[in-house]
Structure 1
């Protein structure tokens, strides 16, 4: 037995005999499951990356909110009658994203922390409900509970003075982008842009965090890491060739969804093969049409 296997075996043993260690293990897996990985070490690396990015961007509340949201959602998931899914961290990842998103778009107030706790609890309820509805078509809930929960809180923030929505963009009618200087691929910073795409999965634009996320993915699955980088690169290429807004491309906003699409189609829900590579390629390309369509619709 090699060293890594021995450590993993000992950790598994600790989780089986100690409820506190088991809860920590599941919480870490919840963070990792944002990128479809069922690995506590990956989750730990992801948390470290999140703290580095949050402090680097002057928003430490996003890091603490992430931990709080994951812990609350993981605790709530204990009351769902599906221990297998709970142990895999599948009830924690939506709360993790809720905890990152709300401090990113709302000012830090006491009410904000209450919304993170409430939103994380609701995300678990939404996960169970949406999964039950979609099981007929064998479709996973994925991050739909996070999106719906966060939308409700952010939309409600306009009605409450205790929730400062100053971080939200001002609504405007859609209008054509007349022209945009070439970004991403053509600005000489392709490496940073690709890593920004990976880090934007957690709503950060950080090269350091993006690099750590890739490392965390590689710990669990080298294919996941490869598809994450490849998906981000292909998204940047596509957005740049289509003449997307330079700022959005360079910051990774056109790539984060493609990263998740590539990981999901390429390695998490399929065994890597040439045919799967074709599915993934098409999925990422089409994703570049879907991503900018949401701001127009909403």
Structure 2
């Protein structure tokens, strides 16, 4: 699967190269806009530059991306904005979050975890939540420096638990979400309790302030990081908007869904307006609405359904965990989202992406379009190959262009009429039956043909097919 994804992305990267060449003569202002556009999405040009820098600069980028990955955002600038919002809420919680992210990331590097996953912040977000929520649940108040000890220890365990859970969830190709954070925080809270002399825990019942209904929407987003300040939630939404408007939109929808569900179930107004009913729905709506599913209007409805379902699960989970004197954390989000990711459906509009191809929603849509185009191109290549095999067996000579020679690989036909006639003859001699997928040798030949400079698929289909046939042994 990873090899096919690499070939597909390498094949369609040719289009981006052609667009870059064609846009070289555009005005300077367009170049500036493209440069600014590079700071949106996953900031791929910035990531390539960071890879060539010293480890200290790389580590800063990993930490910022780890903070942003709490909201499924792989953008270091968004992470910087979120850190600023956390300091606006509570500097002590923000400091613990950064420490947890750094320790978790360094531990993953020491354990030789996948470097691409580390650079994307996937080994930092659980440590970030562990550090922040440990400071929130501590009964010793702010600036209790001894709290750094359990923070460091639990953050070091984050990549260990993540690796163990990934070995299980990889069988179904689903992510682990924040399960390591939930496990470690519940272990810490149940072990210490409220009567511990050094690290006492606060009661699980939140003491929230009452705010207006419209302010509860950004508060619900901020509660993902344990923040009840609407300004912090607004800064986080701005960070999400910078990376992906789709993620920002679904975060707002998820918070509204949690708010409406809490009001419908007659929950205490203080809990509803303080965002405690919204933060799990925010994460669920983002995850389903374009991150792990390619965004269509069907998956958009599925994301809303998951957000409402997650709010119901939050109510049940909170009551169950309160019996054990434990916080609900993000257990509802993990459970409900995993259920919706393991959904089996024959609807082609509900396309769950493989984990190796998951990116931000806009990139996921581009990947899906490229995948469909690749499938159409593969079918056309198979048709041409089968037609030429029949011609070779029957001794029929094609009226199209002469077979390719190594010196003519980079040349297009002078007129598309020859290719049209040849394709027409091939379609007439199409062999019935199901076509087999391309072999590894054939995929490599297609990759070589793409590197040779083909940019218009409609013109070069036949020539690529003949190039593949020529490369085949025998």
Q: Same fold (TM over 0.5)?
A: yes
Residue pair 2:104, 2:158 contacting (<8 A) in 1 also: yes
4+ runs of 1 displaced by more than 4 Å? 5-8
SS at match of 2:198: coil
Please give the secondary structure, in 2, of the residue aligned with 1:111: helix
1:131–1:140 CA contact under 8 A, matched in 2: yes
Q: Note if 1:153 corresponds to 2:188.
A: yes
| 1:4 maps onto 2:36 in alignment | yes
CA deviations over 1:76-124 (Å, ceiling 9, x no partner) = 1112331111111100000000010011111254432100000111111
Q: In structure 2, what is the Cα distance between the partners aligned to 1:12 and 1:22?
A: 11
Measure, in 1, the Cα distance between the counterparts of 2:49 and 2:309: 44
Structure with larger RCO (C-alpha < 8 A, sep 6+): 1
Q: 1:32 aligns with which of 68, 75, 82?
A: 68
- Aligned: 1:99 with 2:134: no
Counterpart in 2 of 1:211? 234
1:8-157 aligned within 5 A: 9=45, 12-54=48-90, 60-78=91-109, 79-106=111-138, 107=140, 109-157=144-192
Cα distance in 2 for partners of 1:291, 1:6 equals: 38
**Is 1:189 the counterpart of 2:212 in the alignment?**
yes
Matched with 1:225 is: 248
Shift of 1:11: 6.4
Mean Cα displacement is larger for which, 132-141 or 11-20?
11-20
Distance, in Å, in 2 between the alignment partners of 1:5 and 1:281 is 29
Structure 1, unmatched stretches of 5+, are 55-59, 171-186
* Structure with the larger helix share: 1
Give the Cα separation in 1 of the matches to 2:50 and 2:120: 16
1:147-202, CA deviations, whole angstroms, 9 ceiling, x for partnerless residues?
A: 1101111111126311122x2237xxxxxxxxxxxxxxxx9923201011000000
Question: Is the Cα–Cα contact under 8 Å of residues 261 and 312 in structure 2 kept in the other structure?
Answer: no
CA distance in 2 between partners of 1:138 and 1:14 (Å): 29
Pair 1:247 & 2:270 matched: yes
Unaligned runs of 5+ in 2: 1-30, 322-474
- 1:15, 1:25 within 8 Å by CA — same for their partners in 2? no
1:224 CA drift (Å): 0.1
Distance 1:80 1:199 in 2: 33
TM-score computed with the length of structure 2 as normaliser: 0.56
Alignment root-mean-square deviation, CA = 1.8
SS in 1 for 2:295: coil
CA distance in 2, matches of 1:163, 1:188: 31
1:264 match:
287
Q: CA deviation at 1:135?
A: 1.1
Bigger-Rg structure (1/2): 2
